[in-house]
Amino acid sequence: MGTLLIRPPGHRRDVALRPAATAMVWIGEGHPHETIAVPGVALGDHDVLVAVELSTICGSDVHTVQGRRSAPVPLVLGHESVGRVIATGDSGATTVDGAPLRIGDRIVWSVTVSCGSCDRCARGLTQKCRTLAKYGHDRVGVHGDLTGAFASHVQVRGGTAIVRAPESLPASVLAPASCATATAWAAVARAARDHDLDGAAVRIHGAGLVGLTAAAIAAEHGAAVEVSDPNPARRALAARFGATSLDREPEVVIEASGHAVGDALAGVATGGTVVLVGSVFPADPVPLDAESIVRRLVTVAGVHNYSGADLVEAVGFLAGRGRAYPFPDAVGEMRPLTAVDEALAAASAPEAPLRIGLVPGR
């Protein structure tokens, strides 16, 4: 008779960290972050422990600390990172493409953790999984302490889409992949389901990193792209990301600012598609001229986060055609992780760079 090895349910692998990991815990509006030391983690079978190389501050982190987006506290914010695998659970871990991950691999990972088996995951809507978790959004404790990017390490859980990050790309290009780049890819891909982008006219509202990235992606698909933004400096930057001015109504409008939904709906050509990707914060409802949408045969599509396949494409874009655009300049400042409060204040200033980086161990 052979021996049957039965692993107890909920088995976890304990990993000690010497020195302890550092996580910056947000405890609520108006309070500075608290620095906590995390001396060890318990990895699930398919978890990956990552040492963070660089994390970047996304607009939604700023919104959270300003109290404009509700969040459960205590919370480790941040969901844009690049880092290296330093340990895996007992069953090992793979990239979203199924390639095994090894210690030392440089990776980026999706903002969402999905079960892979519920009805929504089965339909490909993994970012809307019935038991969804999100890095930088969930209260610490339930899944350990290392649940956000504003930390020296992140416990990347099984069910996260992981993508290998090319060694040749700077961390400043890779860190935003898991929010801005992949979201921009998803928005452009949604438009491309309705329209051949080669030769199409595309207008993008909002020259934040999502809008600028979408501009570059659409331009690389052969589209003529116009970027609309009230900030002249951002408009000038958009020209470096492939933007020009359109001589006709756009078949595709991507609303990436959250503030121009009315203009986006009004400005699209007959038969066109409006992709709404910027309205992720509470804002006043926008009047909808249903008759105009009906008569002009307009399609309105919402895009929120992205799939694992979008993250793969986003990293591929940054490593390939995207090298022609000034993505390395997006991170305008680097600050030590422990200066997260000052960094968040700087990120909310009117002339803030597109991204501010947080570097652990500095």
Query: CB of residue 20 vs Zn ion: minimum separation in angstroms?
Result: 27
> Which residues sit opposite 299 in a β-bridge?
273
Query: CB of residue 106 vs Zn ion: minimum separation in angstroms?
Result: 21
Looking at this protein, which amino acid is placed at residue 107? Answer: I
- Of residues 22 and 60, the one with the C-beta less far from Zn ion: 60
- Of residues 46 and 221, the one with the C-beta less far from Zn ion: 46
Q: CA 74 from chain center: how many Å?
A: 21
- Identify the H or E element spanning 315: helix 308-319
Angle between helices 232-240 and 209-220 (to 10 degrees): 30
Q: Give backbone dihedrals phi and psi of 61, rounded to 5 degrees, phi first.
A: -65, -45
Query: CB of residue 327 vs Zn ion: minimum separation in angstroms?
Result: 16
Q: Give backbone dihedrals phi and psi of 92, rounded to 5 degrees, phi first.
A: 75, 175
Query: CB of residue 183 vs Zn ion: minimum separation in angstroms?
Result: 7
Query: CB of residue 57 vs Zn ion: minimum separation in angstroms?
Result: 9
- Of residues 114 and 152, the one with the C-beta less far from Zn ion: 114
Give the tokens for residue 39.
């001396």
The DSSP secondary-structure symbol of 340 reads H
- Of residues 52 and 268, the one with the C-beta less far from Zn ion: 52
Q: Can you tell me whether residue 126 is helix, strand or coil?
A: helix
Query: CB of residue 2 vs Zn ion: minimum separation in angstroms?
Result: 35
- Of residues 267 and 308, the one with the C-beta less far from Zn ion: 308
Looking at this protein, which amino acid is placed at residue 134? Answer: K
Q: Which residue has the tokens 């459960």?
A: 72
Give the tokens for residue 121.
């995951």
- Residues near Zn ion (CB under 5 A) are 58, 60, 114-115, 118, 121, 129, 179
Distance, CA of 125 to CA of 169 (rounded, Å): 29
Where does residue 229 rank: exposed (0-12), middle (13-18), buried (19+ CB within 10 A)? buried
- Of residues 58 and 268, the one with the C-beta less far from Zn ion: 58
- Of residues 103 and 122, the one with the C-beta less far from Zn ion: 122
The DSSP secondary-structure symbol of 43 reads E
- Of residues 114 and 155, the one with the C-beta less far from Zn ion: 114
Query: CB of residue 160 vs Zn ion: minimum separation in angstroms?
Result: 12
Query: CB of residue 101 vs Zn ion: minimum separation in angstroms?
Result: 22
Distances (CA, A) of 103 to 47, 79, 86, 107, 336: 13, 22, 5, 11, 25
